[in-house]
Structure 1
Amino acid sequence: MPVALVLGTRVQADGTPAPFLAARLEIARELYATGKVQAILVSGDNMRHEYNEPEAMQRWLIERGVPADKVVLDYAGFDTYDSCARAKRIFGVERATLVTQQFHLARAVTVCRHLGVDAIGVGDETAREYGRTWQFASAREYGASIKAALDVLSGRDPVHLGRRETGIDDALRTG
């Protein structure tokens, strides 16, 4: 798969990725470093000026050696459905390796596939060390799966669509 799609999650008050997000980013960095992907699309929430998941993800990846021109930002990945829909419709992603936590992986891959992205996934399990958080997030998946099914069945548009962006095309074109 040429593109890693990293799904956003919480950024700390100081603008650094929280542990779940840092674990996702480390997987994406490894995928890039080993040549398994040629570009990384970071998709997350930037609904408020003072909160910016995509830029926090970009900064983390660049600080750890991923070239800036290989990291593409999606500022409107407000949920899994929006991230997958925008990857396909805005960024032109046809095939992707999704990067998230293991408990979220089945839903994320299923949603992306239903939206036309040939998706596989890599799930992080190191977050299990955060026992209660892991348990809560795993339990949350039940409700989130119902919402995802309704989103897919409704065929709703993402919160923000916009024009086609060429960032992924450009990242894949450069050596």
Structure 2
Amino acid sequence: MKRKKERSLPVRLFSLLVKLAIAAVILVVGINVYITKSTEKDIAASVDSGETTITSQEVQSFRATDPECIMVLGAAVRPDGTPCKMLRDRLDLGIALYKQGVAPKLLFSGDNGQVVYNEVNAMKKYAVNEGVPEEDIFLDHAGFSTYESVYRAKAIFDVDSMVVVTQRYHLYRALYGCRRMGITAKGAAAKDTNKGQELREAREIMARDKDFVKWIFKPQPTFMGETIPISGNGISTQ
């Protein structure tokens, strides 16, 4: 009998590990389903391919929440200082929404953690070249993550209502963060035709779970500072 008990111990441990693994998978998948399904209705426009066009019905849907700004989330910048294709697609959509009067300001949030790397300045230059006045452009130089971008939109720029622009796979997480931060937000999904999309979507699964936990505890971003109301002049942030 003693030998039988010794043999059954590894079996019991293995069974426990299997159950824990199954529970972990269910938790990871469950959080992802919850985030995507609970925010899907807040995506008011989506550009799948071709020209960046927004219908009058979509414009009215955005305006219904009286957004104070359009926040475009940052992405990689090339060594020559120009936005990558993914970021250009986001900018084109954000600028199109601005020009159609969806909101009076643009908030560009991205990584400027190093002197030699500046996402938001590249975004600003692109928008100015497209005819956007500098005073209507606000730069968040410390948007090192989606979590920090959303947190700082409320805490630093005093935003209560906005439109968020990024690719659809990323938009669910950003909109969920807005809800947790008390920001009324609608989403605009930019073109999603970039290479490596499958890998990005796989990584996003864990990113959603990580941010889900973060929004429970709400740790402060890397940098905070004085309030710069989005209703003012954006030049002070540049």
Q: Which TM class, normalised by the smaller chain length?
A: over 0.9
Q: What is aligned with 2:207?
A: 144
The answer as to 2:146 corresponding to 1:80 is: yes
Q: What is aligned with 1:12?
A: 78
Matched residue type, 1:170: G
CA offsets, 1:60-92, max 9 Å, x none?
001001111111000000001100010000000
Q: What is aligned with 1:170?
A: 232
Q: For the residues of structure 1 that align with 2:199 and 2:134, how far apart are their CA atoms? A: 34
Q: For the residues of structure 1 that align with 2:146 and 2:134, how far apart are their CA atoms? A: 24
> Following TM superposition, where does structure 1 have runs of at least 4 consecutive aligned residues deviating by more than 6 angstroms?
none
Q: For the residues of structure 2 that align with 1:78 and 1:108, how far apart are their CA atoms? A: 13
The answer (yes or no) to whether the contact 1:42–1:72 under 8 Å persists in 2 is yes
The answer (yes or no) to whether the contact 1:4–1:99 under 8 Å persists in 2 is yes
Q: For the residues of structure 2 that align with 1:164 and 1:33, how far apart are their CA atoms? A: 26
- In structure 1, runs of 5+ residues without a counterpart are none
The answer (yes or no) to whether the contact 1:38–1:171 under 8 Å persists in 2 is no
Partner of residue 153 from structure 1, selected from 190, 193, 216: 216
The 3-state SS of whatever aligns with 2:226 is coil
Matched residue type, 1:156: P
- In structure 2, runs of 5+ residues without a counterpart are 1-66
The 3-state SS of whatever aligns with 2:70 is strand
Q: What is aligned with 2:110?
A: 44
Q: CA deviation at 1:2?
A: 2.6
CA offsets, 1:119-168, max 9 Å, x none?
1110113x32x34x2111111110110111111011110111111113x1
The answer as to 2:135 corresponding to 1:69 is: yes
The answer as to 2:157 corresponding to 1:94 is: no
Q: What is aligned with 2:32?
A: none
The answer (yes or no) to whether the contact 1:4–1:28 under 8 Å persists in 2 is yes
The 3-state SS of whatever aligns with 2:89 is helix
Q: What is aligned with 2:181?
A: 115
Matched residue type, 1:31: L
The answer (yes or no) to whether the contact 1:98–1:108 under 8 Å persists in 2 is yes
The 3-state SS of whatever aligns with 1:163 is coil
Q: CA deviation at 1:59?
A: 0.5
Q: CA deviation at 1:43?
A: 0.4
The 3-state SS of whatever aligns with 1:146 is helix
Matched residue type, 2:219: R
Supply the RMSD in Å over aligned alpha carbons.
1.2
- How many residues align structurally? 168
Matched residue type, 2:198: Q
Matched residue type, 1:87: A
Larger Rg over CA atoms: 2
Q: For the residues of structure 2 that align with 1:64 and 1:135, how far apart are their CA atoms? A: 31
Q: For the residues of structure 1 that align with 2:142 and 2:213, how far apart are their CA atoms? A: 20
